[in-house]
Structure formats: structure tokens, C-alpha cells
Amino acid sequence: MLLSYLKIAWKVLMRRKFFAFISLFGVSFTLMILLVMMALFDHLVGPSTPARRLDRMLFVNTIRHQMAEGNGWMNMPASIHFVDDYVRKLKTPEKVGIITASSNATAFTKSKLLALDLSYTDGNFWQIMDFDFLGGRAFTGAEVQAAQHVCVLNEATARGYFGTADVVGRTIEIDLKRYRVAGVVRNVSAGHLYAYADVWVPYTLSPQYFKDNRIEGEFLMVMLAPSAATVPAVREEYRQMMRRVEIPNPKEVQALFSYADPVLESFTRALLNHEDQTVDEDNLEAFYLIAGSLTLLFMLLPALNLVNLNVTRILERSGEIGVRKAFGATGRDLVGQFLVENVVLALVGGLLGLGLAAGALALLNQSHTLAYAHFALNWWVFGWGMVLTLLFGLMSGVYPAWKMSRLNPVVALRGR
């Protein structure tokens, strides 16, 4: 029976190739876009090297200064004073690491100029992140404290500068400063905002390493909780700590706000909370709600297209419906048949969507839009995409199928 249904589903699909193409295109193109979006999303906020222990990590990317006398807001990363005197004194995090957003730097080889992204970090950063070391090691806390000129290079820089990745112990000159290479790591995608760079050097070498009591600086913080279960405790302790922070310039700054957030929340808070930053709301639910609604809305279009196509198909097939009823098909049999057809259509569309998404991601990877990013199709995402497509296949088939099953066989046979 199923085979017969599948056979006729395929024939009906092929009968009106143009409409089938439009319909399949709608389903597959939608799924492709969703899959690509999900792959990007997963790449940006999903656990992957070097942020493998993402479930235990918390990030602080800004300290919001509410300026006095209604002079607005100033959002800046943290200073070393803030990190050392407040955050590193927290009891619940296992480790607190820092990194600056990458800045431009240049290195010259005999024949070319290398434009590099350089970040300043501390020793803890290397213990929180799990980089893939091709050779050597990370620099240590002691080396950082001693402000030694050591660095970690990514593979591309090592090969670009030395022509090989086997360069531990050699010297590289960047912005007229010489650094000894302590280690070489596999390239990290620029999508990893809290880890990406071409070159990492001790923060004590940073020109922004001021030793006064200012709060604003250039350091992003990464905290590692002892376990995923203790993450809320770390967030709470950070919250408590913020109440104790002494404002060095109270005439200019009225209040300070900062939150330790998991990676996605660290973005959603900034993205959706720009109106009133005094409210402690990470907006994760709002983000999911908006993203979910947009996804549903986006999928509604091909679903409506399918409904429309199905209703047209019913009109074409009233004779068949009449014959099937005359020969003993129940309403349920017909609904089943039609749903099978629709699900087949959705499945074919889904598989095409998978192929299209794989192609689109390959193009994106090839174009190097995001340095060292390798977007991959996520099977988990694809699974969900297919479930949603099937769901829409069913939803868009139920109404036409029900309508079809209610047709009076005499009327159906007359072809009206």
C-alpha cells in the first residue's frame, strides 16, 4: 500500500514539474537558509575548540558606565585594576582569564608584509581555553608577570613568517618588537570573539596596561566555573561584587553595571537591552522567542505554498478520489495517502535543502569571509530542520487531505 502511495506521489509530483519545482524550491530554499543560519549560530556560540568547556564558562565583555547628570552611557571593557582587585578575588570561579579584542599589528618577512591580529592575554586564559597546540606551550603566569617577550602564534602566522609551523624557540618581530615563540596553535576562527587572534602576547606588554584605579580598560574576561552546576553561583557572586565596586570618579559616573554571562547571553544582553541598561535581564528568552517566531514565519511561506498546491492537486484528482472511494477507500485511507504524498514532497525538499546548505556553507568557507572559520552542517540542526519540514508537510497536508476525504464520491466521479 505504502509503495503504491509513494509511486503515485512521485508520479503526481512529476506530472506538473514546474509547480513541483516551485514547491520544492520553497521548501528546500527555506531549509537551506535555516540550516546556514543555524550553522553560523552554532559556530559563534556553540562549544568548539578552543572554547570546548562552554557550559562552564562565563564572559564579561563590557562594563556599562551610567554617566552623571543624564549624560548617557559609556560601555567599555575592564581595566586590570578592576580584574585584579575585584574579579580575581571572587571565590566561586575556578579561574579568571583575560584577553583583549584583537588589534592590528604587522610583521615583515624578507619578501612580504604580514597583517596580523594581536591579542593580549594572561596565563589563566590558556588554562581556560583548550587550544590545539601543534608545538611548544602557552606562556605561563610567571612569564606574564615578568613581562617577558614571549608569544603564541597560530599556524597561519608561523607558516607565513617562517615558512613552517615548527618554530618554537625562534624569534618573530612584530611592530618592531621581538618575541620568542613559546608555542604554535591550530588556527582559531574569527568567530570565536573571546579567543581569536593570530598572535597572543602577555597583557603586561600592552600599552593599555595602566596601573591606576580606573575601571574602564580593554580586557574581556573569561571565567571558568568548577562545574556547569556552579555557573549560577558564579553569576550571582559577580552580581554581588558589582555592588561593592568603588567608582573612582563619582562626579562623572553615577553607577556601574556589569554581568557575567554565558556566551549567548553575553551577546543577547547587549543586543536586546540597549534601552534600559540598569535592568538585569539577559534577554535570552526574548531572543529565543524572536528567533523562533521569525523561523516559524519564515517556514510558514513554503507551508502556505504547499497548502495551495495541494488544494489545486485535489481539484485535479477528484476522479481518482471518486474511484478510490467507490472501490472501498475510507476517508482515513485517503487522508493517509495524501499525507504520505505530502510528506514525501517535504522530505524530497528537505534533502534538496540539505544539499543546498552544504553547497552554500562550502562557498562561505571558500570565500574566507570570516578568518579561519569552517562552517559545518550540523546534523543536530539538520535533524530539527527535517522534523520541522515534516511537521509543515503534515500541517499543510491535513486540511487539503481532510477536504479530499469528505468529497462525495458521486460528485467526485463527475469531476466537479
Please report, as ranges, the residues that interact with other proteins according to CB under 8 A: 1, 3-4, 7-8, 11-12, 15, 319-320, 322-333, 408-410, 413
- Cβ 327 to other proteins shortest distance, Å: 4
- Cβ 22 to other proteins shortest distance, Å: 20
Q: Across 238-315, where does the E strand assignment appear?
A: 253-257
- Cβ 231 to other proteins shortest distance, Å: 55
Which is nearer to other proteins, 169 or 415 (by Cβ)?
415
Which is nearer to other proteins, 156 or 323 (by Cβ)?
323
List the helix and strand counts (H, then E) for the chain.
Answer: 13, 13
- Cβ 300 to other proteins shortest distance, Å: 30
Alpha-carbon gap, residue 265 to 285, rounded angstroms: 10
- Cβ 318 to other proteins shortest distance, Å: 11
- Cβ 345 to other proteins shortest distance, Å: 15
- Cβ 411 to other proteins shortest distance, Å: 9
Alpha-carbon gap, residue 19 to 23, rounded angstroms: 6
Residue 169 burial (10 A CB sphere; 0-12, 13-18, 19+): exposed
Tell me whether the omega of the peptide bond preceding residue 262 falls within 30 degrees of 0, making it cis.
no
Alpha-carbon gap, residue 215 to 309, rounded angstroms: 62
Which is nearer to other proteins, 72 or 328 (by Cβ)?
328
Alpha-carbon gap, residue 202 to 29, rounded angstroms: 47
- Cβ 340 to other proteins shortest distance, Å: 12
Which is nearer to other proteins, 70 or 328 (by Cβ)?
328
Which is nearer to other proteins, 65 or 313 (by Cβ)?
313
Which is nearer to other proteins, 171 or 330 (by Cβ)?
330
Which is nearer to other proteins, 139 or 338 (by Cβ)?
338
Which is nearer to other proteins, 18 or 327 (by Cβ)?
327
Which is nearer to other proteins, 363 or 410 (by Cβ)?
410
Which is nearer to other proteins, 181 or 401 (by Cβ)?
401
Going from the C-alpha of 8 to that of each of 71, 258, 287, the distances in angstroms are 70, 62, 43
- Cβ 337 to other proteins shortest distance, Å: 9
The per-residue DSSP string of 160-211 comes to: HHHSSS--TT-EEEETTEEEEEEEEE----TT-TTT--SEEEEGGG-TT---
- Cβ 402 to other proteins shortest distance, Å: 14
Alpha-carbon gap, residue 298 to 284, rounded angstroms: 21
Give the count of alpha carbons within 13 A of 389, CB side only. Answer: 32
Alpha-carbon gap, residue 164 to 249, rounded angstroms: 50
Cell 486540511 belongs to residue: 399
**What residues does 255 pair with on adjacent strands?**
66
Give yes or no for a contact between 174 and 106, defined as CB atoms under 8 angstroms apart: yes
The per-residue DSSP string of 16-38 comes to: THHHHHHHHHHHHHHHHHHHHHH
Q: Which three cell numbers stand for residue 407?
A: 468529497
DSSP one-letter code for 244: H
